[in-house]
Structure formats: C-alpha cells, structure tokens
Amino acid sequence: MPTPITIVDDSAMSRKLMLRALPQGWDVEVSQAENGALALDAYRAGKADVMFLDLTMPVMDGYQVLEAMKKEGLNCFVIVVSADIQPKAQERVLQLGAMAFIKKPVSTEEVTKILKEYGIL
Amino acid sequence: MTIKPLTADQKDALQEVLNIAMGQAGDSLARILDAFVALSVPRIRIVEVANLGKTVVEMVGENIDVSAVRQAFYDDLRGEAIVIFGQAGCRDLADLMGYDTDIDADAEHELLLDVTNVLVGAILNGITETLGTELSFTAPSIMAERRPIDTIITPENLPWTHALLLEVNYSLENRAFKSHLLLLMAEDAIESLRKAVNDFMESI
C-alpha cells in the first residue's frame, strides 16, 4: 500500500521542487497543502504518515503545526524543509518533534538519506 | 510607461527565490548577532514610484523615527537595496554587538553600514545563486538618520515611474529590533528579472 505523504508549502513552485526531489521508486500517495491549517486537515484525513513541512507560511506556519501536533499527541513523521537555515531554527523544530531538517533548495540525495536512516525507504 | 504585471507563476517563483535568499541573509544576521532571527513571508508588488513614500510608511508603521541605508546593485539586474531600521532597534543592535547602548552617531553609522552590508550581500548572493545571474553592488551609504519615516523616500529624486518592490522583514525575539529590507527595481530591470525568472522556471 502506498505511503500517504503531504507536502506543505505556500509556494506552488516549492511544492513542485519537493515533488521532484522525492526518491524514485518510493511508493507514495502525495497530497499537497499550502498552509499549516490545511496540513493538519490532511493529517487528520489520514493523508500524512510523512509530512514535508515548510516553516514560513501565511495563516499557520510550520512551528505552529509542530506545536499543535505535539499538544494533540499526533504521530506524524515530519521532515521540515525550510529556507530558514539558522542552527537555532533547526534546533527548535527538532525540539518540537520534527524528525529531520532539510534546507532549501532541497535535493533527492538528502531526502533519500533521511528516509533510509529511519527505515522508511 | 505601463508595466506588464508579473504572472501568478512568476510571482510564486520569485517569492520562492526570495525566500531562499532571505533565509541565507537571516542566517548571516543571526550569526553576527548571536540571536534568533524571525523571518517574514516575502512580499512582492509593483508600485508607482510617486506613491512609494506612502507604501513605505504602511510597511514600517506611522510616526516612527528610522535610519536607512542604501546600496545600489547593477549588471544583470539593476536597482536599489534599502534597509530601514527603527530607532529602538538600533539600540538593540548596539547592545547585541557589544557596544555601549548610548553609542555616538559615528559608531551607529558604522554599525548600520556593517549590518546592511551583511544582509544585502547575502540576499543578493542568494538571488544570483538561484537565478544564475550576475550582480555587483556598491558600498552601502546612509540615506537617512533618525528621521521620521515619512521623510526618507523622496520619489522626485528617482527617474522611474514604476518600481518592483520586494520586501522582507527581520525581527528578533524579545527585542525591539526590526528591519525592513526593500529591493527596488526600475522598469527595465523588471523585464530582466522576468526573463531570469522564466528561465529558472523552465530549468526545473
């Protein structure tokens, strides 16, 4: 059965770049969300076993998504994908429960490495 | 001269390019200040130069005193980068950089020039790296010092009618520091940028 994943980013181009960076042969069913609120909806609808999450977004940002998940005890494998490359931003998202951090522009190698590391791939 | 607006796709692509560049500039700022820098979602719009002063007041806030530093860029893309610092934020900067908070005007100049150079350099490099364009830039210079926000932009001095305004904001947690970084490009530069963005979109 394909793994449901959701790509969360306010930029359509950025979502497209993320889609293209997914490793070939990974059996997934991809949903997309353009802000954090829609990302949580996708998770609740069972569309996000794995979530690729941007941080800087309107309506509800990536930090707020992680906080909400933590508060509600949601069990989603979140990989943050962000242009905010400050070490403190990385620290903070990991503390909030994200499993990994990838900086933009995203590469297939990096995504593959993380997925393999956690036995998802 | 009328300006063809950016298409939704061009705007989205440019926004993402700016987002990446803004992140790199924010990281540079965080490193020199040893603080966590909060980033905004970049904004892009085409404005009439005659209304630029008003637009800037709307962005930064009414009735505040600011200092501003400008830096010109040229080659593949041509325009002006302007960084606006609120006065309260200047004191924070001085504090974080280890100066006495009652620094004199000369020391404050130097500080603002240094910070601008770091921010503008990082953001322009971020843009050129992503778009594959070449840019050079001038040394930064002070364009306004502790002046009311509504007096810093004098559109009559600009030979343009329209400008593309790219805006990113940086603020610090638990501090008053806030800076607005504007990139302004004139009519001909908008077309060069449009072409660079189109090429970039085709390449992905």
Q: Please list, in sequence order, all residues whose beta carbon lies within 8 angstroms of the beta carbon of residue A85, skipping any fewer than 6 positions away.
A: A103, B23, B24, B26, B27
Please give, rounded to a whole number of angstroms, the shortest distance from the CA of B191 to a CA of chain A: 20
Per-residue pLDDT, B3: 79
Per-residue pLDDT, B18: 94
Does A57 sit within 8 Å of B201, measured CB to CB?
A: no
Does B15 sit within 8 Å of A17, measured CB to CB?
A: no
Per-residue pLDDT, B87: 87
Per-residue pLDDT, A5: 98
Give the residue on A whose Cα is nearest the Cα of B40: A56
B46: nearest Cα among B1, B91, B96, B86: B1
Give the residue on B whose Cα is nearest the Cα of A17: B204
Provide, as residue numbers in chain A, all residues whose Cβ is less than 8 Å from the Cβ of B9.
12-13
DSSP codes of every residue in B58-104: HHH-TT-EEEEEEEEEEESS-EEEEEEEEHHHHHHHHHHTT--TT--
**Residue range B8-203 in CATH 3.40.50.720:** no
Per-residue pLDDT, B204: 80
Whether the CB-CB separation of B42 and B168 falls below 8 Å is answered with: yes
Mutate to test the interface with B, among A9, A10, A13 (most CBs of B within 10 A): A13
Structure confidence at residue A50 as a pLDDT band (50, 70, 90): very high
B184: nearest Cα among B151, B161, B201: B161
Provide, as residue numbers in chain A, all residues whose Cβ is less than 8 Å from the Cβ of B30.
86-88
CB pairs under 8 A between A and B: 55
Q: What percent of chain A has pLDDT over 90?
A: 94
Per-residue pLDDT, B104: 85
DSSP codes of every residue in B111-175: HHHHHHHHHHHHHHHHHHHHHT--EEEPPPEEEEEEEEGGGS--GGG---SEEEEEEEEEEETTS
Per-residue pLDDT, B101: 65
Per-residue pLDDT, B186: 87
Please give, rounded to a whole number of angstroms, the shortest distance from the CA of B173 to a CA of chain A: 12
Structure tokens at B81: 């980068």
Low-confidence residues of chain B, pLDDT below 50? Answer: none
> Which residue segments constitute the domains of chain A, with CATH numbers given?
3-117 (3.40.50.2300)
B99: nearest Cα among B84, B112, B86: B112
Per-residue pLDDT, B105: 84
Does A20 sit within 8 Å of B36, measured CB to CB?
A: no
Per-residue pLDDT, B106: 87
Give the residue on A whose Cα is nearest the Cα of B35: A88
Please give, rounded to a whole number of angstroms, the shortest distance from the CA of B179 to a CA of chain A: 17
ipTM summary value: 0.84
Does A20 sit within 8 Å of B20, measured CB to CB?
A: no
Does A13 sit within 8 Å of B9, measured CB to CB?
A: yes
- Asked if the model's pLDDT at residue A31 lies above 70, the reply is yes
Q: What is the domain partition of chain B in residue ranges?
A: 8-203
Does B41 sit within 8 Å of A10, measured CB to CB?
A: yes
Residues B158, B50: Cα–Cα separation, whole Å: 9
Per-residue pLDDT, B1: 60
Does B26 sit within 8 Å of A104, measured CB to CB?
A: no
Three-state DSSP class for residue A29? strand
